[in-house]
């Protein structure tokens, strides 16, 4: 895999001549942050050697390079998921490449279902921990260049970045929640019994992404900040049937607040 990572990174560097400081992964319906970037280069995933291709509606499949809040950034406009049929190594491959390109911080967003009864649709939740119910991306042959074989995960989400984000939200009168995100395989949305189970084991929100990318980034020593938009609720009395289109619609409406937090957070990194 290391050879493929080097090939991809070399191709990108030759096309962009960029040395990004911050990597950004944008989830379902959250690609609008790209409008805030002073774009210098755009690469289609399909044109990058060894890169997977996004197959999910709401994921554009572009790697965006430019400047945001005074920092050089690379943003994934669309991510990859285990349920698309990709291996966990393929799902997290772009994070390895971004590290090779030089990123020092990773910012991740997603749309997720809330299981905390205090949550409402449209809430923003800063992730302060996770539960991984997806196959671990570090399974398999160990590559020492990536970091420890058994990385400590006691502070996976950077506490200083969380404090800064909370202060930004307070300053701008933005309501934010904090909580535990549980990563599941999907692609089915949860049953009533599963929603109850996730709450019992300590979840505040559940989704089909983020955890693999963060695990890989953390192994490589990259500080991570992650935020969810709560697009539906798995709370007794508040559960309704939802579609992928419903998730996209809620995410798009809440996106401006998330965008403001991320922009100001990046300026303070």
Mean pLDDT of the chain: 91
Number of neighbours of residue 138 by Cβ within 10 angstroms = 20
- The tokens describing 86, both together, are 């990709």
9 has a pLDDT exceeding 90: yes
Buried b (16+ CB within 10 A) or exposed e, 5-22: beebbebbeeebebebbb
Residue numbers of the domain that contains 119? 2-268
**DSSP states of 82-97:** GGGT--HHHHTHHHHH
Are 24 and 107 spatial neighbours (Cβ–Cβ below 8 Å)? Answer: yes
Highest averaged pLDDT of the listed ranges 99-103, 111-115, 192-196, 235-239: 99-103
What are 119-178's pLDDT values in tens digits?
Answer: 988 899 999 999 999 999 999 999 999 999 999 999 999 999 999 999 999 999 999 999
33-55: pLDDT as tens digits: 888 999 999 999 999 999 988 76
Q: How many domains does the chain have?
A: 1
**pLDDT tens string 164-177:** 999 999 999 999 99
CATH of the domain at 102: 3.40.50.1580
For residues 74 and 227, the answer to whether their CB atoms sit within 8 Å is no
The single-letter DSSP state of residue 146 is G
How far from the centroid of its chain's Cα atoms is residue 102's Cα? 18
Residue 59 has pLDDT above 60, yes or no: no
pTM: 0.93
Distance between CA 25 and CA 76 in Å, rounded?
5
Q: What is the dihedral of CA 42, 228, 70, 9, to 10 degrees?
A: -40
Euclidean distance between the first and the last CA atom of the chain, given in angstroms as a whole number: 30
């Amino acid at each position: 895999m290391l050879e493929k990572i080097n090939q991809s990174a070399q191709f990108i560097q030759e096309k962009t001549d960029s040395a990004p400081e911050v990597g950004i992964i944008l989830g379902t319906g959250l690609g609008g942050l790209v409008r805030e970037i002073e774009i210098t280069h755009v690469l289609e995933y399909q044109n990058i050697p060894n890169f997977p291709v996004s197959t999910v509606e709401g994921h554009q499949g572009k790697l965006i390079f430019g400047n945001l809040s005074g920092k050089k950034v690379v943003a994934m406009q669309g991510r990859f998921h285990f349920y698309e049929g990709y291996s966990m190594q393929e799902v997290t491959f772009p994070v390895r490449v971004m590290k090779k390109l030089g990123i020092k911080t990773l910012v991740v967003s997603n749309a997720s279902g809330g299981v905390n009864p205090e949550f409402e649709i449209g809430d923003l939740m800063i992730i302060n921990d996770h539960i991984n119910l997806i196959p671990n991306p570090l399974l398999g042959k160990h590559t020492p260049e990536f970091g420890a074989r058994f990385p400590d995960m006691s502070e996976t989400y950077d506490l200083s970045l969380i404090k800064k984000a909370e202060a930004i939200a307070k300053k701008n009168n933005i309501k934010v929640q904090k909580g535990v995100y549980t990563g599941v395989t999907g692609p089915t949305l949860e049953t009533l019994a599963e929603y109850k189970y996730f709450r019992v084991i300590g979840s505040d929100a559940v989704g089909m992404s983020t955890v693999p990318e963060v695990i890989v980034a953390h192994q490589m020593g990259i500080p991570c900040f992650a935020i969810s938009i709560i697009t539906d609720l798995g709370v007794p009395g508040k559960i309704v049937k939802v579609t992928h289109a419903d998730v996209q619609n809620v995410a798009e409406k809440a996106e401006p607040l998330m965008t403001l937090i991320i922009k100001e957070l990046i300026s303070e990194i």
